[in-house]
Amino acid sequence: MSETALIVIDAQESFRHRDYWDDGMVPAYIERQQALIDGAKAAGILVVQVFHVEDSGVFSEASGFVTALAPLRIAPDAVFRKRRHSALVGTGLDVWLTSNGIQRVIISGIRTEQCCETTTRHASDLGYAVDYVGEATLTFPMTDASGRRWSGADIRARTELVLADRFARIATVEDALAGRVADRAA
């Protein structure tokens, strides 16, 4: 069995119902996320699906939106629900990873700079080898306190910059599946 697990974080319908939802980067994200899921399954890598839940609103179980983001096809080996940014806080995921002999995690999902980045940092601090697959993450434009608008691509680049070689190896889908570090010149 593989010592690697793919973690798909918050790739859920809830986001479509937020006012910041932007379809612009969704097709590229879906294609890369699906390639990562399919490749992991083919390689015998365990796939974990994590959903963010809240007591009310579009992230509540009662909303009906805490389901996989369409049109993703995912048949996870385990499913966890979280209430914090890190998928490793209060979910039992860390226990599951340990009990399955996982040494390396591949991080993907929604949102790039929030739950994906936070889980990456947390996993690194817990001693896991981490591949952060930015192309299989999705986020939305944001405006900072000075009025600068950051595109999803800007936020992804910033996230990869601060994680690289400190908390994670920044990898493409193909490199993460092969277990090798991405070519930074690409």
Question: 55 is written with which tokens?
Answer: 């007591």
Q: Which of these, 14, 13, 17, 11, lies nearest to 50 by C-alpha position? A: 11
pLDDT in tens, the chain (186 residues): 689 999 999 999 999 999 999 999 999 999 999 999 999 999 999 999 999 999 999 999 999 999 999 999 999 999 999 999 999 999 999 999 999 999 999 999 999 999 999 999 999 999 999 999 999 999 999 999 999 999 999 999 999 999 999 999 999 999 999 985 444 333
Per domain, the residue ranges of the chain are: 4-178
Name the CATH superfamily housing domain 4-178. Answer: Isochorismatase-like (3.40.50.850)
Rounded distance between C-alpha atoms, residue 50 and residue 141, angstroms: 23
Sheet holding 129-138, edge to edge: 78-82, 46-52, 4-9, 104-110, 129-138, 169-170
Q: What beta strand segments (E) does 44-103 contain?
A: 46-52, 78-82
